[in-house]
């Protein structure tokens, strides 16, 4: 399976979360002079808070977002792809569209309405 096929097989919310996370990390790495002040940079703080809110809205609350937000406040840590790592951690076990979900043994879950 190619990377493009894998990306297309994701749920739309997951795909958008990946785009936001990679985009935010790339912006912080490539636009380093703009974010050079680290934790005291207003642009950096606004970007990180916005990314945290968007990822939480798209993927739901997950503990992996807290260390990423905290690491972004440390000067120089913006050069690490912390948001991308958090999204990978949160979405690594999700079932993709068209994939059969294998349920654990036990009673069948109630059908969704």
Question: What is the per-residue DSSP string for 40-64?
Answer: G-HHHHHHHHHHHHHHHHHH---TT
73 lies in some domain? yes
113 lies in some domain? no
81 lies in some domain? yes
The whole domain housing 80 covers 10-91
Model pLDDT, residue 102: 64
Give the residue-averaged pLDDT of 91-109: 68
Give the residue-averaged pLDDT of 52-76: 86
Neighbours of 1 (CB within 10 A): 8
5 lies in some domain? no
Report field, pTM of the whole predicted structure over 0.85: no
Number of domains comprising the chain: 1
Instruction: Tell me the per-residue pLDDT of 7-52, one tens digit each, with 9 for 90 and over.
Output: 787 888 999 999 999 999 898 888 766 666 555 677 778 888 899 9
Token couple for 85: 């790592």
Write the CA distances from 106 to 99, 101, 103, 109, integer angstroms. 21, 15, 9, 9
60 lies in some domain? yes
Q: Which residues are CB-contacts of 76 (< 8 A; sequence separation ≥ 6)?
A: 38
Give the residue-averaged pLDDT of 45-64: 90
């Amino acid at each position: 399976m190619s990377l493009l096929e894998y990306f297309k097989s994701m749920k739309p919310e997951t795909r958008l979360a990946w785009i936001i996370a990679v985009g935010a990390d790339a912006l912080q790495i490539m636009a380093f002079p703009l974010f050079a002040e680290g934790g005291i940079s207003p642009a950096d703080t606004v970007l990180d808070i916005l990314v945290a809110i968007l990822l939480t809205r798209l993927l739901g609350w997950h503990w992996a977002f807290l260390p990423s937000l905290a690491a972004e406040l440390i000067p120089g840590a913006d050069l690490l792809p912390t948001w991308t790592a958090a999204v990978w951690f949160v979405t690594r076990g999700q079932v993709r569209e068209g994939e059969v979900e294998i349920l654990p043994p036990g009673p069948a879950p109630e059908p969704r309405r």
